[in-house]
């Protein structure tokens, strides 16, 4: 008694926890109460409540759609040919010019992906060319084709939030692309082991994994762009054309423009290289090839020109993987940011649009 | 009793065009209600708003006590919906399509299989489950669409133009199915159509929609009263005098003078149309026979929706543009 008095005196009243008053339990109605509560839980969504696992169902559906489609088979075929081409060209290059240094080269396995000679492109150059095609091919009709067929209408009449639909489109395409890329990369690596006896070290493996991740995001950018066009344009043919036009602009016309502008500006102010470099680095494909080159070729120490003071005293040795990643960190974040930006725009347009049946 | 679907003062604009204008609607549990109107009358827009797929500008909607504006997901969980021109994934089988819908509704994979199978049986697509939807006829697709609605085990289903593009037999079968669902399972049905006869066949009540407004509502009979006035009553008469000539309007007027009030007589090919204030088929028949006419046809004509519909558009050829 005394003790409790002390507590109540020393601790101010409002510090004492107030317990909710318990109702006496009525066991007779407990069962039905439980059932009522359960019903309330399952039949009335509180805002934000959804049965779990539905998003997964949508994604699974999208992935299976991709995998069963002819389009995917064609695109995968192109990618497999890319892989074979890369292996053959690397094989030729290595057997002619790199043979001598092969036992001293600590990154011999990576040469499979980067070796290029006699006009034959390397694997990562091929991916930078084919990646956009893959991304566009997977997503150019993601939204509008279903709208035209009328299937989106029926799905949206189900109890799923609207954004599940578009999120699932992106996630599914990304999943398909990443698995495909990983498979092809591992196949190339494996064939290198068989054909050339090139056993990858753990660092080489991590570098290749980094290459797959960056490539996935690069293709992810093209997926989001195609997704955006598939929302803006009602006809799949139009959105496909728009995506291809964007691709051509980026690969062909933009660099022409940049060269011309660089010449113009540098004739006035000088610094041609700086101008063209900074303008080119707005391009996703430029960002990608920079990032991937540095990741796959450890000897690259800088992306820009170095002056004599910078190279003075430097030992010409390969960079460790951490330093390589650090070197292209801006490029990597740039690619991811472009991908997210494109998706954010499509998301916003999509979510604000009226649903009509056709 | 509280209505299961309640709409009050609903408005929706598309730009300057007013698609739905101050709509009030209440539908009781267990009813089949027909939304009837020409294309572009705002039926589909109303239905979209009911499903929470489109945001109303003002007004309120509740289905089974759920606010469609606030809890669209819950509405879509509980209300079955058959869109206009329902489309399925063509390269998937009917069963796979249904299973996908089941899974979107949170039904587990094993359960979904059972539910889908039993629904296919219910709508008369037994044994067609493995077939791809691309091989389905239009009528079969509509049935599959109905099965798709029933996945949610709904108390209310909303059908947007369910009979559009079906052949007469397909229409009859589908309507029979809808009626069955209504009678056996007590499902409240709201359907839209611009096809009058179909609506007439199964709907308990009908609302006529033009330009986003509800013009009239009620059973088919009471609609006739509302639009034609209660006095209207039409008889189709074909009778010949002893010298084999068709009875003339003057003759019939003379005959019935003082006994029955005939408001209007129209001559149609081979018969007369009498508009009267009261229904008196037997009286008129008796009169004609007593006077020695040979009575061939005396047919009371109830005004169908066709007449109601046409009548409205005759009166308002240029609907209510403000």
Secondary structure (DSSP) of A235-300: SHHHHHHHHHHHHHIIIIIHHHHHHHHHHHHHHHH--HHHHHHHHHTTSHHHHHHHHHHHHH-TT-
- Residue A45 to residue B87, Cβ atoms within 8 A: no
Asked if B86 is an interface residue toward chain A (Cβ–Cβ < 8 A), one would say yes
Top-confidence residue, A333 or A255: A333
B68 interaction partners in chain A (CB closer than 8 Å): none
B223 with B239, same domain?
no
Evaluate whether residue B322 is within a structural domain.
Answer: no
Residue with tokens 């008796």: B286
Q: Which domain CATH number covers B67? A: 3.40.50.300
A157 interaction partners in chain B (CB closer than 8 Å): 51, 53, 76, 81, 83
Evaluate whether residue B311 is within a structural domain.
Answer: no
Q: How far is C-alpha B21 from the chain's CA centre?
A: 20
CB nearest to A156's CB, from B53, B74, B91: B53
B283 with B191, same domain?
no
Q: A147-185 pLDDT, tens per residue?
A: 888 888 888 889 888 888 999 999 999 999 999 999 999
Q: Which of B211, B227, B243 is the last residue of a domain?
A: B227
B211 with B278, same domain?
no
CA atoms of B113 and A94, how far apart (whole Å): 56
Instruction: Indicate if the pLDDT at residue A34 is higher than 80.
Output: no
- Residue A53 to residue B106, Cβ atoms within 8 A: yes
Q: Residues B32, B191: contact at Cβ < 8 Å?
A: yes
Taking CA atoms, B286 is separated from A251, B192, B210, B255, B298, in Å, by 94, 44, 44, 11, 11
Q: Give alpha helix (H) positions in chain A.
A: 2-10, 27-43, 54-68, 70-93, 108-114, 123-139, 144-149, 151-156, 162-196, 202-232, 236-248, 254-269, 272-280, 284-296, 308-311, 321-327, 329-352
Evaluate whether residue B13 is within a structural domain.
Answer: yes
Instruction: Indicate if the pLDDT at residue A314 is higher than 60.
Output: yes
Question: How many beta-carbon pairs under 8 angstroms link A with B?
Answer: 76
Segment B255-264 shows an average pLDDT of: 76
B215 with B241, same domain?
no
Instruction: Indicate if the pLDDT at residue A28 is higher than 50.
Output: no
CA dihedral A231, A232, A235, A239 (to 10 degrees): -90
CA atoms of A254 and A273, how far apart (whole Å): 16
In degrees, to the nearest 5, what angle opens at C-alpha A218 toward C-alphas A110 and A113? 15
CA atoms of A57 and A59, how far apart (whole Å): 5
Q: Residues A117, A143: contact at Cβ < 8 Å?
A: no
Evaluate whether residue B310 is within a structural domain.
Answer: no
Mutation for A interface: B45, B54, B106, most A CBs within 10 A: B106
CB atoms within 10 A of CB B84: 18
Closest residue on chain A to B83 (Cα) = A154
Over pLDDT 90: what percentage of chain A? 35
Evaluate whether residue B241 is within a structural domain.
Answer: yes
Note the pLDDT of residue B286.
85
CA atoms of B62 and B66, how far apart (whole Å): 5
A158 interaction partners in chain B (CB closer than 8 Å): 76, 101, 104-105
C-alpha torsion sign, points A237, A238, A241, A246: negative
Asked if B89 is an interface residue toward chain A (Cβ–Cβ < 8 A), one would say yes
CA atoms of B84 and B14, how far apart (whole Å): 20
CA atoms of A269 and A275, how far apart (whole Å): 10
| Domain range enclosing B222 | 5-227
B155 with B298, same domain?
no
Note the pLDDT of residue A106.
76
Q: Residues B275, B234: contact at Cβ < 8 Å?
A: yes
Segment B63-91 shows an average pLDDT of: 88
When computed from its CA atoms, the radius of gyration of chain A, rounded to whole angstroms, is: 29
What are the φ/ψ torsions at residue B154 (nearest 5 degrees)? -85, 160
Evaluate whether residue B30 is within a structural domain.
Answer: yes
Q: Which domain CATH number covers B241? A: 3.30.70.1510
Instruction: Indicate if the pLDDT at residue B319 is higher than 50.
Output: no
What are the φ/ψ torsions at residue B237 (nearest 5 degrees)? -125, 135
Note the pLDDT of residue B73.
86
Q: What tokens does A108 get?
A: 């011999």
Instruction: Indicate if the pLDDT at residue B238 is higher than 90.
Output: no
Q: Give alpha helix (H) positions in B79-137.
A: 94-104, 109-122
Strands B66-67 and B234-240: unpaired
- Residue A355 to residue B53, Cβ atoms within 8 A: yes
Mutation for B interface: A48, A60, A159, A354, most B CBs within 10 A: A159
A51 interaction partners in chain B (CB closer than 8 Å): 106
B259 with B203, same domain?
no
A154 interaction partners in chain B (CB closer than 8 Å): 83, 86-88, 101, 145, 148
Q: B272-286 pLDDT, tens per residue?
A: 877 777 777 888 888
Partners of residue B234 on adjacent β-strands: B275, B301
Of A121-125, A132-136, B177-181, which range is least confident?
Answer: A121-125
Of A148-162, A243-257, A307-321, B224-238, which range is least confident?
Answer: B224-238
Q: Which of B227, B246, B277 is the last residue of a domain?
A: B227
How many folded domains does chain B comprise? 2
Closest residue on chain A to B73 (Cα) = A159
Instruction: Indicate if the pLDDT at residue A310 is higher than 80.
Output: no
Evaluate whether residue B309 is within a structural domain.
Answer: no
Three-class SS string for B143-176? HHHHHHHHCCCCCEEEEECCCCCCCHHHHHHHHH
Supply the DSSP symbol for B135.
Answer: G
* Crossing angle of the two packed helices A329-352 and A162-196, in degrees rounded to 10: 150
Segment A97-118 shows an average pLDDT of: 74
CA atoms of B23 and B30, how far apart (whole Å): 21
Element holding B306 (H helix, E strand)? helix B305-315
B97 with B148, same domain?
yes
CA atoms of B37 and B17, how far apart (whole Å): 17
Segment B294-317 shows an average pLDDT of: 68
Mutation for A interface: B45, B46, B53, B90, most A CBs within 10 A: B53
B170 with B279, same domain?
no
- Residue B101 to residue A58, Cβ atoms within 8 A: no
B88 with B158, same domain?
yes
C-alpha torsion sign, points B83, B85, B89, B92: positive
**A134: confidence class by pLDDT, cuts 50, 70, 90:** very high
B223 with B237, same domain?
no
**A8: confidence class by pLDDT, cuts 50, 70, 90:** very low
B188 with B250, same domain?
no
CB nearest to A157's CB, from B44, B51, B90: B51
Q: Residues A293, A300: contact at Cβ < 8 Å?
A: yes
* CA nearest neighbour of A290 among A276, A305, A275, A300: A300
Top-confidence residue, B229 or A75: A75
Q: Which of B199, B227, B255 is the last residue of a domain?
A: B227
Asked if B76 is an interface residue toward chain A (Cβ–Cβ < 8 A), one would say yes
Q: Residues B36, B208: contact at Cβ < 8 Å?
A: yes
Instruction: Indicate if the pLDDT at residue A135 is higher than 50.
Output: yes
B182 with B248, same domain?
no
Evaluate whether residue B28 is within a structural domain.
Answer: yes
Q: Residues A148, A230: contact at Cβ < 8 Å?
A: no
CB nearest to A161's CB, from B73, B78, B88: B73
């Amino acid at each position: 008694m005394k003790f409790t008095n002390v507590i109540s005196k020393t601790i101010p009243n409002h510090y004492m926890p107030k317990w909710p008053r318990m109702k006496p339990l009525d066991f007779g109605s407990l069962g039905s109460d439980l059932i009522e509560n359960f019903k309330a839980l399952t039949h009335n969504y509180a805002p934000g409540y959804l049965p779990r696992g539905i998003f997964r169902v949508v994604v699974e559906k999208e992935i299976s759609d991709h995998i069963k489609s002819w389009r995917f088979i064609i695109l995968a075929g192109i990618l497999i040919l890319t892989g074979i081409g890369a292996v053959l060209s690397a094989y030729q290059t290595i057997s002619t010019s790199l043979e001598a240094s092969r036992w001293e080269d600590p990154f011999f396995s990576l040469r499979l992906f980067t070796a290029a000679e006699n006009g034959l492109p390397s694997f990562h150059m091929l991916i930078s060319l084919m990646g956009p095609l893959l991304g566009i091919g997977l997503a150019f009709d993601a939204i509008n084709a279903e709208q035209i067929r009328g299937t989106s209408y029926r799905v949206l009449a189900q109890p799923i939030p609207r954004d599940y639909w578009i999120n699932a489109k992106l996630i599914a395409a990304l999943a398909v692309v990443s698995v495909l890329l990983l498979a092809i990369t591992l196949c190339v690596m494996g064939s290198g082991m068989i054909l050339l006896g090139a056993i990858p070290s753990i660092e080489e493996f991590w570098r290749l994994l980094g290459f797959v991740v960056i490539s996935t995001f690069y293709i992810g950018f093209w997926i989001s762009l195609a997704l955006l066009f598939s929302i803006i344009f009602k006809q799949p043919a139009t959105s496909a054309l728009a995506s291809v036009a964007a691709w051509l602009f980026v690969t062909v016309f933009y660099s022409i423009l940049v060269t011309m502008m660089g010449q113009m500006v540098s004739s006035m102010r000088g610094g041609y290289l700086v101008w063209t470099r900074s303008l080119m680095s707005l391009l996703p494909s430029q960002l990608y090839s920079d990032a991937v080159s540095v990741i796959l070729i450890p000897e690259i120490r800088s992306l820009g020109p170095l002056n004599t003071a910078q190279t003075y005293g430097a030992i010409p040795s390969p960079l460790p993987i951490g330093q390589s990643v650090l070197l292209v960190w801006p490029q990597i974040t740039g690619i991811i940011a472009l991908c997210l930006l494109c998706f954010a725009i499509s998301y916003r347009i999509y979510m604000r649009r009226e649903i009509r049946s056709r | 009793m509280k209505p299961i679907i309640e709409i009050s003062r609903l408005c929706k604009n598309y730009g300057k065009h007013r698609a739905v204008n101050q709509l009030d609607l209440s539908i009781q549990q267990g009813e089949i209600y027909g939304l009837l109107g020409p294309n572009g009358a705002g039926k589909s827009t109303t239905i979209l708003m009911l499903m929470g797929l489109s945001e109303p500008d003002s007004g309120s909607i509740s289905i089974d006590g759920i606010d469609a504006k606030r809890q669209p997901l819950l509405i879509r969980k509980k209300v079955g919906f058959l869109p206009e021109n329902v489309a399925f994934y063509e390269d998937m089988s009917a069963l796979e399509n249904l299973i996908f819908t089941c899974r979107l509704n949170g039904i587990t994979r094993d359960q979904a299989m059972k539910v889908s199978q039993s629904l296919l049986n219910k709508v008369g697509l037994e044994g067609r489950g493995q077939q791809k939807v691309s091989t389905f006829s239009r009528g079969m697709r509509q049935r599959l669409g109905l099965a798709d609605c029933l996945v949610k085990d709904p108390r209310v289903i909303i059908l947007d133009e369910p009979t559009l593009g079906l052949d007469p037999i397909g229409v009859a079968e589908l309507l029979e199915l809808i009626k069955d669902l209504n009678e056996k399972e007590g499902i409240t049905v709201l359907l839209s159509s611009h096809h009058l006869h179909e609506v007439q066949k199964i709907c308990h009540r009908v609302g006529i929609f033009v330009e986003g407004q509800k013009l009239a509502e009620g059973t088919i009979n009471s609609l006739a009263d509302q639009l034609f006035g209660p006095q209207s009553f039409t008889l189709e008469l074909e009778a010949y005098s002893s010298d084999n000539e068709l009875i003339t309007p003057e003759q019939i007027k003379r005959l019935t003078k003082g006994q029955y009030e005939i408001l209007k007589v129209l001559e149609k090919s081979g018969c007369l149309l009498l508009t009267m204030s009261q229904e008196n088929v037997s009286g008129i028949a008796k009169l004609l026979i007593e006077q020695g006419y040979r009575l061939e046809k005396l047919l009371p004509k109830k005004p169908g929706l066709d007449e109601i519909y046409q009548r409205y558009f005759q009166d308002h050829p240029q609907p209510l543009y403000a």
